């Protein structure tokens, strides 16, 4: 028996409502006036008549001869939803346009960075100004100080920060740092959590790996994952057992404080607190991988949202405003181990790149304006509730949830607490739903095992259009 829509949302959102949901009724928040409000694109969703992907198909067939699988990151290839990917020509606000001229309401947001909307005018103008001074310095610049100050002021655990070029790099760096600081080797990660594609993390890594049905990746040496221990997400006693078995050996626990890489999975109430206590009691470090949740759940990320201060944090996506960036940071005494302040080596040719810093600075400035997160909460709540209601009304078993601008739903009864629960979802039905929504002009992540994202540029009309489209598609799948 399916849960009611409200119960399903609460099923996931339990931890959020019990921790720190805004006390203000969401109906009081409207889209702040300075936000992007629907730049007119040549073919609007309603004007769209003949849905064809001819040019996308031709381009993707050519791409397959040029790049492995035709893409530069696996999930983009649509393998788990069938058909071929749409090839994008341009993005603006909440919209994407493909090379056939079809327009979509986008809930991927370049996998998270586009939280103030794509190609924001102020960000573009700031980038143009910075670009006049050059595209890369390979030397210190003032923009690094500005973004570092903003990140340190916003994220509770971060007293010092190191910028890198991707979330993967951030997680690689933070892992080396945790091992260097504790002088221990073992780490605990959770099944279905993704921390980039560095060897030690490619164990039960969710997301792209799960989507392709690859248990692990060939090429990862056994030695690289020998010290990676895994536990099911939300299973505190499994983690306790690992600490018992490997007394004094565990350097750190790394986790997604809200999982996005198995679909959207919220932590159970007290799970994060209990994990935090456990690390403290055992001399291990707690690392929040906030590459996805940083500046998305709240301005201070998941750690501010849940009121838990980890030892170390990784960031990416939003802090680069759509340009390649990552960062890791934490307590000063730990960060001072990083070269050249300390002995732990880590470096990068393009790290602290002025364009990436610029886009990050202007994205964070916008997010900091009053009402941003209340607005994200409001539209995302309406969206997920509308989708769940529509699904149930059409007789489907569906559950889902959201926090701020992050959401997800599964074709299973729920509650979904971990990756095994997520895998109970009817992925074939998801694929049918996905293709149907695409034809209706709605672009979700092309995998059941990815969270969705809203942005400040999504309007109430976007949300209503999406729900109406879902009603149609649910009736015919």
Ligand X SMILES: Cc1ncc(COP(=O)(O)O)c(C=O)c1O
Q: What is the DSSP letter of 39?
A: P
CB contact set of 142 (below 8 Å; sequence gap of 6+): none
Q: By CB under 6 A, tell whether 194 contacts ligand X.
A: yes
CB of 309 to ligand X, least distance (A): 18
For residues 260 and 316, what is the distance between their CA atoms, to the nearest angstrom?
14
Tell me the closest approach of the beta carbon of residue 141 to ligand X, in angstroms.
22
**Chosen residue from 144, 289, 304, 462 binding ligand X by CB under 6 A:** 289
CA–CA dist 210, 41 (Å, integer): 35
Which of 117, 465, 177, 220 has the alpha carbon at shortest distance from 327? 177
Do the beta carbons of residue 301 and residue 290 sit within 8 Å? yes
Using CB under 6 A, count the residues that bind ligand X.
16
Assess 291 for contact with ligand X (CB under 6 A). yes
How far apart, in whole angstroms, are the C-alpha atoms of residue 235 and residue 190? 9
User: Catalytic positions, please?
Assistant: 194, 289, 317
Of residues 244-263, those binding ligand X (CB under 6 A): 256, 260-261
Say whether residue 195 binds ligand X (CB under 6 A): yes
Least distance from ligand X to the Cβ atom of residue 163, Å: 13
Among 104, 107, 111, 449, binds ligand X (CB under 6 A): 111
Within residues 9-68, the interface with ligand X by CB under 6 A covers: none
Cα(347)–Cα(406) distance, rounded to whole angstroms? 32
Alpha carbon distance 474, 477 (integer Å): 6
Segment interacting with ligand X, rule: CB under 6 A, options 119-127, 167-175, 263-271, 415-423: 167-175
Structure tokens at 231: 């536990």
Stretch that binds ligand X, among 48-56, 172-180, 288-296, 460-468 (CB under 6 A): 288-296
| 450 is an interface residue for ligand X by CB under 6 A | no
The DSSP code sequence of 400-433 is EEEETTEEEEESS-S---SHHHHTTS-HHHHHHH
Closest of 264, 233, 261 to residue 407, by C-alpha: 264
The phi and psi torsions of 286 (rounded to 5 degrees) equal: -105, 125
Which of 147, 250, 292, 431 is the binder for ligand X (CB under 6 A)? Answer: 292
**In 148-298, where do the E strands start and end?**
160-164, 186-190, 228-231, 250-255, 285-289
Question: Cβ closer to ligand X: 5 or 294?
Answer: 294
Please tell me whether residue 320 binds ligand X under the rule CB under 6 A.
no
Which member of 5, 301, 316, 321 binds ligand X (CB under 6 A)?
316
Q: Using CA atoms, how far apart are residues 55 and 50, in angstroms rounded to an integer?
A: 13
Bridge partners of 163, per DSSP, are 327
Query: Minimum distance between the CB of residue 190 and ligand X, rounded to whole angstroms?
Result: 11
Does 196 participate in binding ligand X (rule CB under 6 A)?
A: yes
Nearer to ligand X among residue 254 and residue 384 (C-beta): 254
The whole-angstrom separation of Cα 108 and Cα 85 is: 14
Q: Which two tokens stand for residue 93?
A: 């606000």
The residue sitting closest to ligand X, measured at its beta carbon, is: 167
Is residue 401 a contact residue for ligand X (CB under 6 A)?
no
398 or 451, CB closer to ligand X? 451
Task: Work out how close the CB of 183 gets to ligand X at its nearest, in angstroms, rounded to a whole number.
Answer: 25
**Three-state DSSP class for 77?**
helix
Q: Roughly how many angstroms between the first and final C-alpha of the chain, as a whole number?
A: 19
Q: Is residue 167 close enough to count as binding ligand X by CB under 6 A?
A: yes
| Binding of residue 171 to ligand X (CB under 6 A) | yes
Q: Could you tell me the smallest distance in angstroms from the CB atom of residue 418 to ligand X? A: 16
CB of 72 to ligand X, least distance (A): 11
Per-residue binding letters, 324-363, with ligand X (x by CB under 6 A): --x-------------------------------------
- Which positions lie near ligand X, rule CB under 6 A? 111, 166-168, 171, 194-196, 256, 260-261, 289, 291-292, 316, 326
């Amino acid at each position: 028996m399916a849960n009611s829509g409200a119960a399903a949302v609460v099923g996931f959102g339990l931890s959020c409502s019990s921790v720190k949901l805004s006390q203000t009724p969401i109906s009081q928040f409207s889209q702040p006036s300075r936000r992007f409000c629907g730049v007119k694109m040549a073919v609007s969703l309603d004007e769209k008549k003949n849905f064809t992907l001819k040019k996308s198909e031709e381009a993707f067939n050519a791409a397959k001869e040029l790049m492995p699988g035709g893409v530069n990151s696996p999930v983009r290839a649509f393998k788990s939803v069938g058909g071929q990917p749409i090839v994008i020509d341009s993005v603006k606000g909440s919209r994407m346009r493909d090379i056939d001229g079809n327009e979509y309401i986008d809930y991927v947001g370049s996998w998270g960075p586009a939280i103030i909307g794509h190609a924001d005018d102020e960000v573009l103008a700031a980038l143009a100004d910075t670009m006049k001074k050059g595209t890369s310095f390979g030397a210190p610049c003032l923009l690094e100080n500005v973004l570092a100050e903003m990140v340190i002021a916003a994220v509770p655990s971060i007293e010092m920060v190191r910028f890198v070029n991707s979330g993967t790099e951030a997680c690689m760096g933070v892992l080396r740092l945790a091992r260097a600081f504790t002088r221990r080797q073992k780490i605990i990660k959770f099944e279905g959590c993704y921390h980039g594609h560095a060897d030690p993390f490619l164990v039960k890594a969710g997301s792209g790996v799960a989507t392709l049905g690859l248990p692990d990746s060939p090429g990862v040496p056994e030695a690289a994952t020998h010290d990676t221990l895994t536990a099911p997400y939300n299973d505190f006693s499994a983690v306790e057992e690992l600490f018992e078995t490997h007394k004094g050996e565990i350097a750190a626990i790394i986790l997604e404080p809200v999982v996005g890489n198995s679909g959207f999975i919220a932590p159970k109430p007290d799970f994060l607190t209990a994990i935090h206590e456990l690390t403290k009691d055992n001399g291990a470090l707690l690392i929040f991988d906030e590459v996805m949740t940083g500046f998305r759940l709240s301005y201070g990320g998941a750690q501010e949202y849940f009121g838990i201060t980890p030892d170390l944090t990784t960031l990416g996506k939003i802090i680069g405003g759509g340009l390649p960036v990552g960062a890791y940071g934490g307590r000063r005494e730990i960060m001072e181990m990083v070269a050249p302040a300390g002995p732990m080596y880590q470096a990068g040719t393009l790290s602290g790149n002025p364009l990436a810093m610029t886009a990050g600075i202007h994205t964070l400035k916008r997010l900091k304006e009053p009402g941003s997160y209340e607005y994200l909460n409001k539209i995302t709540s309406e969206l997920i509730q509308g989708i769940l209601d529509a699904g149930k009304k059409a007789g489907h078993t569906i559950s889902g949830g959201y926090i701020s601008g992050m959401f997800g739903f599964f074709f299973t009864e729920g509650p979904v607490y971990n990756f095994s629960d997520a895998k109970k979802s009817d992925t074939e039905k998801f694929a049918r739903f996905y293709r149907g929504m695409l034809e209706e002009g709605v672009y979700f992540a092309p995998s059941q095992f990815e969270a969705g994202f809203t942005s400040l540029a999504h309007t109430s009309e976007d949300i209503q259009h999406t729900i109406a489209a879902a009603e149609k598609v649910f009736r015919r799948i």
